[in-house]
Structure 1
Amino acid sequence: MWSAITRFKASLTYAVILGILKLGERRCNRGKPSIPEIDAVLDLVGFGILGGLLFLSSVESYLLLLWMLNFAVLLYKRKNDMNIVLKAKMVK
């Protein structure tokens, strides 16, 4: 959807953001395998960064509304993953 609406600009930006986040996560974990819940949180963080970039670039208001709706769906979809990560952080 984002590829069609933004002519791949948002999709490419999101892919680069996720790549940078994943590289940072791998360096922090020192090469250990990642757990899916961390990947889900990185997905949310990356999409949040994309939203910030969309806001700063003064895109049309319908794109910001679409981003907000898409982010709400992602939050709902990833709520269990976020709970697992937050509980693990609280235990440490």
Structure 2
Amino acid sequence: MPLLLWTAAAFLSGSLMFSYWLGLAAKHNLSGVGDGNPGALNLWKAAGFRLGLAGIALDFLKGYLPLLWLSGTVYAQGYGLVALAVAPIAGHAFSPFLRGRGGKAIAVSFGVWSAITGFEAALAYAAILALLKAIGRTLRANGPKSAESDGLQVVIGMALLPVFLWAGKFEAAILGVWLGNFVILVCKHRKDWASWWGKRKIGEADADN
């Protein structure tokens, strides 16, 4: 029962939509900004870098602090760690405060990974994303940047993270956290995949004509 209560608390922490609420305080409804994602990036676009950075920090902390608080306890072991670590990510992605329409869970994911691996996996994920972004820019040359490609990089980067986790000999429960995080990111970025695939098929059709 205590594990269930702590998991619910971690989910509630993740579900607090700070970026969305900061946007409303600044008279910006993020559901009408960019792709409509109620996250820190759209807050940055709508209200400037100061509020954007505040949103990123708060979204990070709502994943980081609960896991940091519980680290070393009996609850944060084995399958308990999986439940506790995935809960804030799921809370952000499917926030009850927004009727299940939460954000894409990137900053909160970094917070969770920072807490459970002493920043190691979070830094590795950041390095992977930086490398993918550099490769993407090279492949696109001078072409326009797309939100779809950023979404693809987030998911592909997470798909590659187990290589680091395996090399670092992290415990099996960490792989369970990764699986839960990966499934949520795939779900939240499914529109990016669909849009990218649709544009690719159109491009192939144009090339054939």
Q: Could you state the TM-score of these two structures normalised by the residue count of structure 2?
A: 0.42
Is 1:90 matched with 2:204?
A: no
Aligned residue number for residue 33 of structure 1: 144
Say whether residues 1:80 and 2:173 are aligned partners: no
Q: Higher relative contact order by CA 8 Å / sep ≥ 6: 1 or 2? A: 1
Q: Which residue of 2 is the match for residue 22 of structure 1?
A: 133
Q: Structure 1 stretches of 5 or more lacking a match?
A: none
**Stretch deviating more after TM superposition (46-55 or 72-81):** 46-55
CA RMSD of aligned residues (A): 1.2
**Which stretches of structure 1, 4 residues or more, deviate above 6 A after TM superposition?**
none
Q: Of the two, which has the highest radius of gyration? A: 2
Deviations 1:14-61 (A, max 9, x none): 111111110111111113331011100011111111123213433201
**Alignment partners' CA distance in 1, 2:163 and 2:179:** 11
Query: Which amino acid counterpart does residue 160 of structure 2 have in structure 1?
Result: I
Percent identical? 32
1:53 is the counterpart of 2:168: no
Distance between the aligned counterparts of 1:33 and 1:16, measured in 2? 23
Q: Could you tell me whether the CA contact under 8 Å between 2:124 and 2:164 is conserved in 1?
A: no
More helix by share: 1
> Map of 1:64-79 to 2, 5 A cutoff?
64-79=175-190
Aligned residue pairs, count = 92
